[in-house]
Amino acid sequence: MTAQLIDGLALSRLWRTRLTERVAALRARGVQPGLAVILVGDDPASQVYVRNKVKACHEVGIHSVLETHPADLSEDALLARVRALNTDPAIHGILVQLPLPRHLDAHRVIETIAPEKDVDGFHVANAGALMVGQPGFWPCTPHGCMKMLEHIGVDLRGKHAVVIGRSNIVGKPMALMLLQANATVTICHSATADLAHHTRQADVIVAAVGRPRMLTADMVKPGAIVIDVGINRDANGKLCGDVDFDAVREVAGWITPVPGGVGPMTITMLLANTVDAAERATA
């Protein structure tokens, strides 16, 4: 059995077409959705990601402002920039690219973003809203994973979902979203005693570990849905996920590729959150 591919690029194209229409409707009533992206320092990977986000905004008609700051920017100066954007009526979404240089407290910076402009969904107000099932911005990566699961038409009710990873950005919100969809959810992490024991029982596996090809074929139940959140470089410098794709695709029922899977959907959900923010701000 060879798994069916969940194509994040194709699904992104579909979503971005619909978002383009919503942006056009906003513009017809004089509202141009705006996203501010703040990049501190010159990490080459972050520069690539940020450029992709700006490009994606352009694609759907979102106005984007890219602010780049030197790596030695003071925390006070960064917080002042965030506060200025909080009150800027042309800006509906604010994203501070992570990771930040070590002297900056990411938590403090994120908590300074107005929750209604926190299109990353990282502010405690948005994390809390997800936790209690109230409206708010959902973090883009797990949200994109949910849209991929919806797209293939799987009913998650009563399914066993295993999330590997417990970060605030991916693992924890992913588990809450799956729970909200009535899955039975297990969260595994670096201290889990027998990871394969859990993953072998899973109908859905979300791998968000950051370790190249760590999910191997023997850890996957035949027919399972496998979502790969990892973006790693292997020993040869090749981009790869947390899933041993070539082997796991022979066991799984559905699988997301890297690249072309969760990554593009993450950016698409950022665009969707920004359009939502503009609609809510001007309703």
State which residue, 95 or 262, has the beta carbon closest to Mg ion.
262
**Using only C-alpha atoms, what is the Rg of the chain?**
19
Contact of residue 170 among Mg ion, ligand GUE, none (CB under 5-8 Å per partner type): Mg ion
State which residue, 133 or 259, has the beta carbon closest to ligand GUE.
259
Q: Residue 120 interacts with ligand GUE (CB under 6 A)?
A: yes
CB 5 within 8 A of CB 261: no
Q: Closest Cα partner for 188 from 242, 109, 257, 265?
A: 242
End-to-end CA distance of the chain: 49
* CB 206, min distance to Mg ion, A: 9
Question: Which of residues 231, 252, 271, 277 is near ligand GUE by CB under 6 A?
Answer: 231
* CB 35, min distance to ligand GUE, A: 11
Q: Which residues of 203-213 are buried (b: 16+ CB within 10 A; e: fewer)?
A: bbbbbbbeebb
Reply yes or no on whether 117 is catalytic.
no
Q: For residues 283 and 279, what is the distance between their CA atoms, to the nearest angstrom?
A: 6
Q: Closest Cα partner for 98 from 108, 88, 85?
A: 108
- Contacts with Mg ion, 151-170, as mask; x by CB under 5 A: --------------x-x--x
Reply yes or no on whether 134 is catalytic.
no
- Contacts with ligand GUE, 32-71, as mask; x by CB under 6 A: -----------------x--x-------------------
Q: Residue 263 interacts with ligand GUE (CB under 6 A)?
A: yes
Q: Residue 219 interacts with Mg ion (CB under 5 A)?
A: no
**Residues in 169-228 that interact with ligand GUE by CB under 6 A:** none
117, 118, 120, 159: the active-site residue: 120
Please identify, among the stretches 94-102, 158-166, 185-193, 273-281, the one whose residues bind ligand GUE according to the rule CB under 6 A: 94-102
Q: For residues 157 and 245, what is the distance between their CA atoms, to the nearest angstrom?
A: 26
3-state secondary structure of 233: strand
State which residue, 165 or 241, has the beta carbon closest to Mg ion.
165
Find all residues with CB under 8 Å of 32, minimum gap 6, and list them.
26, 61, 62, 63, 90, 278
Tokens for 279, please give them.
């609609």
State which residue, 159 or 213, has the beta carbon closest to ligand GUE.
213
Reply yes or no on whether 276 is catalytic.
no
Overall residue count recorded for the chain in this entry: 283
3-state secondary structure of 145: helix
Catalytic residues: 53, 97, 120
